[in-house]
Every structure is written in structure tokens, then in C-alpha cells.
Amino acid sequence: MSHHTDPIVTTAQGAVRGLRQGDTNAFLNIPYAAPPRGAGRFESPQPHEPWDGVRDATVPGPNAPQSERKLGSVDMAPYFGTGWSRGEDYLTANVWTPAGANGDLPVMVFVHGGGFVAGSTRSALYDGSAFARDGVVLVTLNYRLGIAGFLDIPGAPANRGLLDVVAALGWVRENIAAFGGDPHNVTLFGQSAGATIVGGVLATAEAAGLFRRAIVQSGSGLGAFTTEQAARVTRAAAEDLGIEPHVDAFAEISDERLVEAASRLAGIDLQTGTHHDPLIGLSPFSLVLDTQPAESVAAGLSANVDLLIGTNTEEGNLYLVPVGKYATSTAGDVDDAAARAHPKPARLVETYRKARPDASFGELRSAIMGDALFGAGSWALTDAHTAHPESATYAYEFAWRSHALDEELGATHAVELPFVFDVAHLTQLHGPSALLGPDKPPADLAARMHATWVRFARTGNPGWDAYDDERRATMRIDAEWTQVDDPRSQERQAWR
């Protein structure tokens, strides 16, 4: 394509040349913070040096150091991407905007998931073209992962990956008008680890005023480790690497070795005298906070931010079905899941049995795992935000079932993302072991879901009744959309 038709935008750090794609301009790999090198990997994000001339923003850039992620027999490459694309200058954003946009469009900033150790803006699911087509400036960003991003290290600031996201929001505030966006109408949204980070940003005083709305897709307002729990992980990482648990020692270790060490940290017992493991043993990386985000939001942080929040009906299936553990689940597995998640496991199991009298052991186990990881922490965050009526709270439940993996995958974790980004047509999402399975989803589901997210970003109202602590109005999203009051009230009560 000839360069003279390609768009050039001047940011505070320098000019960037993007790609004209029909009516959309895409700008890839624009730095929002300095490259995290050496000791800088364990410091707060710093401003990027300005550059001379026009920086090429037409090809994807490097991403955060990570190991390749596999989840059993389901193809998650469109979600995780293809692993580590090396290069130090990876604290970058991608921007999609309508050609000719002039400064007043709603802005949406997406934080990817991947268990705090994987994922990037390169993943096929996070193509912002449909948002630009519909008059939104869409930003995706990379942030530090694993040990560099989230290990709580003496001498280093905590939650560095979250600080990266706040820095990216600062970059958006400063620069997005040049791409056609309204810096005062920013919606921060994320999924899984990215949604838990969004919940953490809601609870971060320094981020106040940088965004107006937030969407939390399958995150948790109760997903943070305490400093005591995090210190166990840090000790284990230092032992694995043969170093002292201090930032100066970690600063000497290569990215390769940090990534390898991170992948060996599974299975640390994080149960303490006062706290269970909020990630039930699935990951040693999360936010590290002695006050959970839901508690901070209850106390009034982000009271003026509109919130859309929800989970998928069968979140836990992703952790069982692709690894062959769903159909083989036993009563003992159900009890074990409850024991990892709850101080009164027997009562929890009894509640779930009563609420689901016909459920198999696999279904009960999945439901308890899904609520331990996402449900309880989303309910807590929803209730916390509802206590502050100066902004609105909306809830959804995504219930459309994928027939992947012999019809067992269901309405599992991550299955809503192709609909939000309106990329459900991508061929790599279809087939017996692909996320959306062998059959076509309902024709208008992606169009409607994507339009709903855009509507919320534009107006603060997704198109159904706001959530309050009496009715708990929730939109159940499937082939049909049905508003229900107080869904899953028995199970919800059990986590209080």
C-alpha cells in the first residue's frame, strides 16, 4: 500500500504512521511507557523517550515475556496468542479508529486476560476493527506479566502490571484526542485476569478521573492475594532461581529464566490462618492487596464510574473439560473443590446440590470452581458498587453454550469474547475443538452483544434495568436475551 494514503498522527512522544484499512485506521505497537529493561523491569512504568521523524505503526510489536500456554484439547491460540514475541519495547498500545474521526468519539481501552502470565495485543480475538466501524476508538494494551508484572518483591512497587495499565490510561488521556477519541469518555474493560486488573484499577486512587466507565468480564473483586500469601510465592521463586528474595537479585536474572521459573511455581499452598487461596491453586500470580478491590469500592472508590459486570454460566468448565476431568468427576472432587474455596465446604456443597438437584458431579464441581474464581468475587464487586448510587451498575450473565469437545465445553470462561469484539466469524474459532465449537452461533448474537458494549461505552446504559440490591436485575444473554431478577440467589447467599 502506498505510504501517502496511510494516516499519520502526532502523539506527545512523536508521530506515528498507521494503516488505512477501508474506513478504519489502525495504529499498532505505539509505546505508552519506556521499555522495561534490567532493573527497570521491577520499577514503576516510566515515560517513553520521544522519537524523531515518523515511527512505523503498521506491524504488530513485541509482547511481554511469557511461556506458551496450552489448555488441554481446546485450541486457545486465538485467546492466548502464539507465545512470546521478543523485544524490550513492549509496553505498547494498538489503536483502531474510524478514518476521519475528529475528537469526540467514545474510547474503549481493553485489558487482555491470560492468568497474569500470558496473553497480548497480538491475540486474534482482540481486533478492534468492529469497534472503529461502529464509531468507537478502541485501544488494546500489553502490560508486564508473571514475575516482572506481579511477583511481590521487597524493594519493588507491588502490582507493576496494574501500574502499567494506569500508565496506559494516562497515555490515553494525553493522546487519544489526536486519534479522534474523547479523553473524558473512556471505558476501561477487561476479561479474566484483565477484568480482575480492571477491578484493581477501580480500587486505585491514582487512576481516579482517567476513565468514566468500566466493564468487568469474568473477573473478581476478591481475587487478590494478601502480602503474606504473596511472600510465599516470592520465596519459592527466589529459591527456584537460587537468589535472595530482593529486587536487586531479581534484576540480574534474564527474562528467559524469569519465564521458566514462573512456569514452575504452580502448587504452592497459599492457605493462611486468615485467608484461603482466591485462585484455588490455579495460579500463583494475581494482584497483591491487603484490602480486596470489592472492599475498596464498597468504601467509595470509583463511586462515580458506571459499571457493567458479569460472568459466564459455566465458567469452571474450561478448567475441567479440555483436560478430561469433567465427566470423570466424583463426589470427592466436588468436596475437594469446596474445601479449597470456602470455610464451610459441607454447607456449600449442600447449597449447590439443593440449587441443582439434577446436576452431575462434573457440573457441581465446575459451578463451585467457577463461583470461587469469578462468581463470588463478581457478586461482591457488583454489590459494593451498587452501594453508591451516584453512578449506575448493570449485571449480565452470558449463557450461550459452545458445543465444542463433544458438546461439553458449554458457556465457559472466555466464550463471550468473540461476541464482544464481533469476531465470531473467525475460522479458527470454529470446529470440534475450537472455542465456539462445530455449529454456527445464533446469527445476531455477536452483532447484538457488540452493539450493547458500544452502547454502554457511549451512554453508560447497556439497555436493561440497572442492578440494585433488592432486585439484582441481570441480563441473561443467550440466543434469546432475558432479564431476570436475582439469579442464583441460593448460591450467591452461600458466599456471603
Question: pLDDT tens digit string along 105-161?
Answer: 999 999 999 999 999 999 999 999 999 999 999 999 999 999 999 999 999 999 999
Give a yes or no: residue 258 inside a domain: no
Q: Indicate which residue of 413, 430, 450, 491 is catalytic.
A: 413
Phi, psi angles (nearest 5°) of residue 93: -125, 150
Cell for 295?
472492599
Please give the pLDDT value at position 4: 57
CB 294 within 8 A of CB 381: yes
Q: Which amino acid is at 369?
A: M
DSSP state of 41: G
Give a yes or no: residue 245 inside a domain: no
Please give the pLDDT value at position 5: 81
Distance CA 201, CA 214 (A): 10
**Domain encompassing residue 469:** 3-225+275-494
Among the listed residues 204, 232, 399, 214, the one whose alpha carbon sits nearest the alpha carbon of residue 296: 204
Quote the Cα angle for 302-140-23, to 5°: 120
Distance CA 77, CA 72 (A): 12
Quote the Cα angle for 181-184-189, to 5°: 80
Among the listed residues 173, 170, 70, 182, the one whose alpha carbon sits nearest the alpha carbon of residue 115: 70
Give a yes or no: residue 262 inside a domain: no
Give a yes or no: residue 250 inside a domain: no
Please give the pLDDT value at position 66: 98
Residue owning grid cell 475498596: 296
Q: Indicate which residue of 48, 120, 123, 192 is catalytic.
A: 192
Please give the pLDDT value at position 102: 81
Q: Report the Cα 385 to chain-centroid distance in Å.
A: 19
Among the listed residues 32, 28, 35, the one whose alpha carbon sits nearest the alpha carbon of residue 11: 32
Among the listed residues 295, 362, 314, 370, the one whose alpha carbon sits nearest the alpha carbon of residue 340: 370
DSSP strand pairing (19-21 vs 54-56): unpaired
Establish whether 391 is a catalytic residue. no
CB 376 within 8 A of CB 495: yes
Q: What is the mean pLDDT of the chain?
A: 97
Edge-to-edge strand ranges of the sheet holding 54-56: 8-11, 14-17, 54-56
What pTM value is reported for the model? 0.98
Give a yes or no: residue 12 inside a domain: yes
Question: How many structural domains is the chain composed of?
Answer: 1
Establish whether 192 is a catalytic residue. yes
Distance CA 290, CA 287 (A): 10
Residues facing 105 on adjacent strands: 181
Distance CA 487, CA 484 (A): 6
Quickly list H helices, 371-421: 376-386, 404-407, 417-420
Distance CA 367, CA 491 (A): 10
Q: How many residues does the structure list for the chain?
A: 496
Please give the pLDDT value at position 3: 53
- 3-state class of 463 per DSSP? coil
Q: Which amino acid is at 403?
A: H
Phi, psi angles (nearest 5°) of residue 189: -135, 155
CB 370 within 8 A of CB 356: no
Residues facing 318 on adjacent strands: none
DSSP state of 159: -
Measured CA distances, 165 to 44, 160, 183, 398 (Å): 11, 9, 16, 26
Cell for 433?
475443538
Quote the Cα angle for 330-335-340, to 5°: 125
Q: pLDDT by residue (tens digit) across 479-490?
A: 999 999 999 999
CB 72 within 8 A of CB 322: yes
DSSP state of 315: G
Measured CA distances, 233 to 66, 143, 151, 228, 355 (Å): 18, 20, 7, 9, 36
Please give the pLDDT value at position 103: 78
Cell for 353?
446440590
Low-confidence stretches of the chain (pLDDT beneath 50): 1-2
Establish whether 4 is a catalytic residue. no
Please give the pLDDT value at position 1: 45
CB 223 within 8 A of CB 286: yes
CATH code assigned at 154: 3.40.50.1820
Q: Indicate which residue of 120, 123, 286, 315 is catalytic.
A: 315
Distance CA 196, CA 199 (A): 5
Cell for 123?
491475540
Phi, psi angles (nearest 5°) of residue 65: -55, 135
